Amino acid sequence: MKKILVLPGDGIGRDVCDAALPVFDLLQLPVELHFGDIGWECWRRGGDPVPEETWRQIERSDAVLLGAITSKGKLEAEQELIPELQGKGLKYVSPVIQLRQRLELFANVRPARHLTGARKPFHCVVIRENTEGLYAGMDRKGIPASMSDWVRHPNIDRSGPDEAAISVRLQTRFGLERLFRYAFDYARDNGLDRVTFADKPNVLRDSGQFAADIFHAIAAGYPGIGADIQNVDAVALWLVRRPESFGVIVAENMYGDILSDLAAGVMGGLGVAPSANVGNRVCYFEPVHGSAPAMAGKDKANPAAMFLSIALLLRHLGFDEAAARIDAAVSQTIRAGRALTYDLGGNAGTAEMARAILQALRRPQALKRASILCIGDELLNGSVVNSNAAEIGKRLSAAGYAVGLQLSSPDQLPAIRAALDQCLGQSDLVVVNGGLGPTSDDLTRDGVAAALGLPLHFDAGSMAHIEQRLTGFGLAVNPQNRRQAMFPEGAAILPNANGTAPGFALDWQDRRILVLPGPPRECLPMLDASLPPAPARQDAPVRRWLLLGVIEADIADAVETCLRDAGQEAAVSYLWRYPHVEVSIRHDDDGEPAWLDAVETLLRPHLVSRDGASAVSQLASALAGRAWLLDSGITGADLGGLLPAPAAGDADPVRIRIDASRELAPPWQGVLSLSCQIDNGGQRNSYRLDVPHRGAEVADYVREFFAWSLLRSLNEAYSHTESEPA
């Protein structure tokens, strides 16, 4: 049984602890949680932000989970002490510093993992030295005479030694060896193949050389891991532009401090950045953010950084699988784009986002995400309608993919590269389409190769096929055609039965990229042949209702009230497609959701179908074999055409009368009242609907209303029992 000491601390530290700690109940690990005090209240009431009892608890635990701690300036700290403690010369020392010193936590570890968004995925980590370097504490104003033969500078002569200050960057063999060893071990244990030491050896020449020699000596013990030394300023630049090029970045205290916040920013901000402080004894884990007092207790703070910090803690205790599940649940929640806090662009609160993460942990999503990238100037200027995007989208959805992004790019190398990066950042499968022709404006293969950093190779087999096809049609082979036989290294070539340009498939990290030619009759069969089998669909169940005669906004309000009252997680979407509104609700729990009855009761009076079928499309089969007599008072809407041929013999015909309050003609304004009476062997029904008299398209509304009325009348049960047409 491992003992975890939880110190929620101050401000939002408490909020995110409350929200995230239920993850331990869910994971059922052999760990026990203990709780202790730390932070501002401890200082105010006891004169030390880390009470002695807390130190004893720390010594007895295997790891510490910290929320956040409020620190304030010297003066304020003294003023806020309770009166009994004032004037006793108590000095506030930041708990974070106390913990680092007393527990000898020599490394601060800040992983930065790509969560979602328009950039190439990355996973790097900044490991910062925590005890020496420029923050070693040798920092003073005034230069004593004893140092004056070493601390020399023309500006000291100008200001005088008392009007100067110095800070010493301390580096020791002991400190550097354990830091670098830890960095390489971390790379090895976390599947990272590069360790970069960010320093400034060309300026800080002696200390830089000293550290570099130690770095190289340690690196020699890890032959499988690349080791390099880069200037810290260049690392900052490349961390912003290409975080995916880094693995472990290791640095002395101040450089590491700055780079680790930069990495947190690249990752998506304070709300998502976790950290670990490690040494050889008890280690502690905390979100990078502070106590954000203005937000405390307001159900606003993003709990993701706390979840990810718990994952780091669990990995440290050897629960790798549980840690990976938490990481995946956070990613899944953020990618799903629902239930996110304000800092991630959402409008959910701490509790709601935490619930969504816990739900994702219970129900990991096997659903794969796909994006579609169509390339060609003609798609953007409108000279060609992008039917491929729609067709490919349909096929991907049918195959079980969730299509999350569609992009169109002009035939420009930088645009293609950027668009592909964007797709890779948020999809498991990217289907690239178009721009594989032989001319110089066909840049797709170059763009894909450049985005992935792969060289292009010529494939003789494909060239032979291209030549054969062209000469078979009596066409000359142009030297330009050679371009169509160039493929990025490692690509699997996809044959094209209906055209010259072969496509190709590439695996990159855990993503798959399919690159297909543009003409629909070439690319669609190629897609069908090469679409990777979709994973078994574990998609959350979706319920749908196609409705008539309702206003989207009104129905949305009512549906959401039902869901809120049931207090269950479900995502609603509304699609208005004249004349219908379709409501879909995706819910995470198997079985009968608690809100279902209420929503059914609400929607049933407006229901047309549960599978998206219009009333018009259902009418023929519902009327088959029946005799009917139509008496229409409406001109300009061909209602007879909706009815099947009359059945033989008119023994007991269904008599239908439909009217409208006005002509289906301009002026298009005001209300059109529709009525339909149906006399069906003694049973009489009448239906009414008022619709906006908005334009010629009201004829569609009239037809749908007519069909819907008939359906409801023929199937008396239609509007209130389970036997509606599906």
Binds 301, which of ligand NAI, Mg ion, none (CB < 5 to 8 A, cut-off by type)?
A: ligand NAI
Binds 257, which of ligand NAI, Mg ion, none (CB < 5 to 8 A, cut-off by type)?
A: Mg ion
H or E segment and range at residue 679: strand 671-680
Q: Min. distance of Cβ 257 from Mg ion in angstroms?
A: 5
Binds 127, which of ligand NAI, Mg ion, none (CB < 5 to 8 A, cut-off by type)?
A: none
Contacts of 241 (CB under 8 A, 6+ apart): none
Binds 207, which of ligand NAI, Mg ion, none (CB < 5 to 8 A, cut-off by type)?
A: none
Q: Min. distance of Cβ 300 from ligand NAI in angstroms?
A: 7
**What is the rounded distance in angstroms from the CA atom of residue 717 to the CA atom of residue 683?**
13
Query: Which amino acid, residue 708?
Result: W
Binds 116, which of Mg ion, ligand NAI, none (CB < 5 to 8 A, cut-off by type)?
A: none
**What is the rounded distance in angstroms from the CA atom of residue 533 to the CA atom of residue 566?**
37
Q: Min. distance of Cβ 492 from ligand NAI in angstroms?
A: 43
- The SS3 call for residue 570 is strand
Query: Which amino acid, residue 475?
Result: L
Judged by CB, which is closer to ligand NAI: 302, or 359? 302
Judged by CB, which is closer to ligand NAI: 195, or 264? 264
Peptide bond into 111 cis (omega under 30): no
Angle at 653 between CA 648 and CA 656, to 5 degrees: 130
**What is the rounded distance in angstroms from the CA atom of residue 659 to the CA atom of residue 709?**
12
CB–CB of 198/250 below 8 Å? yes
Judged by CB, which is closer to Mg ion: 67, or 435? 67
Judged by CB, which is closer to ligand NAI: 304, or 323? 304
Q: Min. distance of Cβ 88 from Mg ion in angstroms?
A: 31
Q: Min. distance of Cβ 256 from Mg ion in angstroms?
A: 9
Judged by CB, which is closer to ligand NAI: 70, or 433? 70
Q: Min. distance of Cβ 141 from ligand NAI in angstroms?
A: 23
Q: Min. distance of Cβ 147 from ligand NAI in angstroms?
A: 33
Q: Min. distance of Cβ 292 from ligand NAI in angstroms?
A: 4
Q: Which residue is nearest to ligand NAI (CB)?
A: 290
- The SS3 call for residue 616 is helix
Binds 71, which of ligand NAI, Mg ion, none (CB < 5 to 8 A, cut-off by type)?
A: ligand NAI
DSSP per-residue letters across 386-432: -HHHHHHHHHHHHTTEEEEEEEEE-S-HHHHHHHHHHHHTT-SEEEE
Binds 343, which of Mg ion, ligand NAI, none (CB < 5 to 8 A, cut-off by type)?
A: ligand NAI
| Options 260-268, 305-313, 428-436, 554-562: segment touching Mg ion (CB under 5 A) | 260-268
253: closest CA among 138, 171, 183?
A: 171
**What is the rounded distance in angstroms from the CA atom of residue 218 to the CA atom of residue 599?**
65
Mask: binding to Mg ion, 228-257, rule CB under 5 A, as x and -?
Answer: -----------------------------x
- The SS3 call for residue 657 is strand
Query: Which amino acid, residue 524?
Result: L
Judged by CB, which is closer to ligand NAI: 306, or 676? 306
249: closest CA among 84, 111, 347?
A: 111
Judged by CB, which is closer to ligand NAI: 261, or 552? 261
Query: Which amino acid, residue 50?
Result: V
Q: Starting at the earlier edge strand, list the strands of the sheet with 542-548.
A: 570-577, 580-587, 542-548, 607-609
Binds 505, which of Mg ion, ligand NAI, none (CB < 5 to 8 A, cut-off by type)?
A: none
What residue ranges in 434-477 does DSSP mark as E strands?
456-458
Q: Is 383 left (phi over 0), alpha (psi -120 to 50) or beta?
A: alpha
**Strand duo 580-587 + 570-577: pairing:** antiparallel
**What is the rounded distance in angstroms from the CA atom of residue 309 to the CA atom of residue 113?**
13
Q: Min. distance of Cβ 294 from Mg ion in angstroms?
A: 19
Q: Min. distance of Cβ 138 from ligand NAI in angstroms?
A: 23
Binds 664, which of Mg ion, ligand NAI, none (CB < 5 to 8 A, cut-off by type)?
A: none
Binds 444, which of Mg ion, ligand NAI, none (CB < 5 to 8 A, cut-off by type)?
A: none
A 10 A CB-CB count for 360 gives 23
Judged by CB, which is closer to ligand NAI: 106, or 706? 106
Binds 500, which of ligand NAI, Mg ion, none (CB < 5 to 8 A, cut-off by type)?
A: none
**What is the rounded distance in angstroms from the CA atom of residue 94 to the CA atom of residue 40?**
10
Q: Min. distance of Cβ 423 from ligand NAI in angstroms?
A: 28
Binds 70, which of Mg ion, ligand NAI, none (CB < 5 to 8 A, cut-off by type)?
A: ligand NAI
Judged by CB, which is closer to ligand NAI: 131, or 230? 131
A 10 A CB-CB count for 451 gives 22
Judged by CB, which is closer to Mg ion: 261, or 377? 261
Judged by CB, which is closer to ligand NAI: 271, or 434? 271
| First-to-last C-alpha distance (Å) of the chain | 55
Judged by CB, which is closer to ligand NAI: 8, or 518? 8
Q: Min. distance of Cβ 13 from Mg ion in angstroms?
A: 16
**What is the rounded distance in angstroms from the CA atom of residue 355 to the CA atom of residue 42?**
31
DSSP per-residue letters across 520-541: HHHHHHHHHHHPPPPPP--PPP
Binds 569, which of Mg ion, ligand NAI, none (CB < 5 to 8 A, cut-off by type)?
A: none
Helices 253-267 and 232-241, interaxial angle, to 10°? Answer: 10
**Strand duo 274-278 + 580-587: pairing:** unpaired
Binds 68, which of Mg ion, ligand NAI, none (CB < 5 to 8 A, cut-off by type)?
A: ligand NAI
Q: What are the structure tokens assigned to 550, written together?
A: 């309702």
**What is the rounded distance in angstroms from the CA atom of residue 84 to the CA atom of residue 44?**
10
Binds 497, which of ligand NAI, Mg ion, none (CB < 5 to 8 A, cut-off by type)?
A: none
Which residues are registered as beta bridge partners of 660? 674
Q: Min. distance of Cβ 293 from ligand NAI in angstroms?
A: 6
Query: Which amino acid, residue 343?
Result: D
Q: Min. distance of Cβ 452 from Mg ion in angstroms?
A: 34
Where along the sequence are the contacts to ligand NAI (CB under 6 A)?
A: 12, 68-71, 96, 270-271, 286, 289-292, 294-295, 301-302, 305, 341, 343
Q: Min. distance of Cβ 88 from ligand NAI in angstroms?
A: 23
Q: What are the structure tokens assigned to 383, written together?
A: 């000279």
**What is the rounded distance in angstroms from the CA atom of residue 606 to the CA atom of residue 617?**
17
Which residues are registered as beta bridge partners of 654? 628
Judged by CB, which is closer to ligand NAI: 292, or 424? 292
Judged by CB, which is closer to ligand NAI: 292, or 608? 292
Judged by CB, which is closer to Mg ion: 131, or 359? 131
The residues binding Mg ion (CB under 5 A) are 257, 261
